[in-house]
Amino acid sequence: MIDGKANGLKARLAAGETLIGTFIQTPHPVVCDFLGQNFDLDFLCLEAEHSTIEAECMQSMITAADATGVPCVVRLQNNEWVPIARALDAGAQGVIAPRVNSAEEAEALVRAATYPPTGDRGIGPGRATKYGLNSGPDYRAQANEQILVAAQAETRKALAHLDEILAVPGLDLLFVGPMDLASSLGMTPNTPELNAVIEGIINRARGAGVRTGIFTVTAEATHHWVSKGVQLVLLASDLIFMAQGLGRSLSDYQALTQPATEAAPAATPAGAPGPTEVTPTADTGPRISKGVGLPLRTKRRRRD
């Protein structure tokens, strides 16, 4: 929440920092509390576009994150006035508007996210203004200075109008959605062809003085795009991390319990661990998977 301190996300980006966060798709404040308390994330992004997160739950989630000292941004349901107002009134430090395809749409986003004279955001008695008790000109100026306004480029049409979008005053960040961009362009994700398009977007944004962000799933992809100049990364999501952890554990268990008929065990040398023993290693901490790797269930389990 905007608190008058000059250490918000927008200021950190201006100082040249790289910010790593993750999407939250699960509509419950416990997720924000858990991640905020236990992991060194720069921010959390509530995924309101592709989830069931609604206004009341959103405010509870932002409040939980704020209590841990980790700020929230919200990827909006759409680029319309009410979702933008609700996210910012709930205390989000920024918004990411999906599918911004023209300068006019980017201008509408900036107007809705900023108070006059920059924009036309209404003065509501929400949590961000201490329920109306801190809605004066000082707060509104701080909000305009600190709220991060980001537009998402993820379509062929956005590419066609990219330079006009980047020229919109008040647009702080262009966020690249690789999956939808690949779909719109008829390309395959994670290919050199798509990566060249994304790198071109990053370079054009840099030339216009606009910072960039991107969604990734792996540490390797995150490192790659940060090396290309991206400053804000949304690394996977709560559900992706859940799938990675469960998928890895199930695969590890299945590997340890292969039927004896599948492969005859080799003779065990004297003093070596037997076939049911596990040799401890130093790598007992969490690992970063290169993919989700969740084994598909081919037969439905019977429930008696």
pLDDT by 10s per residue, the chain, length 304: 766 555 699 999 999 999 999 999 999 999 999 999 999 999 999 999 999 999 999 999 999 999 999 999 999 999 999 999 999 999 999 999 999 999 999 999 999 999 999 999 999 899 999 999 999 999 999 999 999 999 999 999 999 999 999 999 999 999 999 999 999 999 999 999 999 999 999 999 999 999 999 999 999 999 999 999 999 999 999 999 999 999 999 999 999 998 755 555 555 444 433 333 333 333 323 333 334 433 333 443 333 3
Residue 30 lies in a domain: yes
Report the pLDDT value the prediction gives residue 273, as an integer from 0 to 100.
Answer: 37
Strand partners, 234: 21, 215
Tell me whether residue 286 is in a domain.
no
| Helices and strands (H and E) in the chain: how many | 12, 8
State the virtual CA torsion across 117, 121, 124, 126 in degrees, nearest 10. -110
Domain count of the chain? 1
Q: Do 194 and 181 touch, CB atoms closer than 8 A?
A: yes
The domain that holds 30 is classified in CATH as 3.20.20.60
Nearest to 100 by CA among 72, 75, 71, 121: 75
Catalytic residue among 28, 50, 223, 224: 50
Q: Catalytic: 28?
A: no
Instruction: Please tell me the predicted confidence (pLDDT) of residue 169.
Output: 97
Closest CA relative to residue 21, chosen from 250, 175, 145: 175
pTM for the structure as a whole: 0.84
Burial 160-182 (b: 16+ CB within 10 A, else e): ebbeebbebebbbbbbbbbebbb
Q: Is 271 domain-assigned?
A: no
Cα separation of 120 and 30, whole Å? 34
- On whether residue 166 sits in a domain, the answer given is yes
273 occurs within a structural domain: no
Domain annotation covers residue 272: no
Domain assignment of residue 139, given as a range: 9-242
In-domain check, residue 91:
yes
3-state secondary structure of 214: strand
Specify if 266 maps to a domain: no
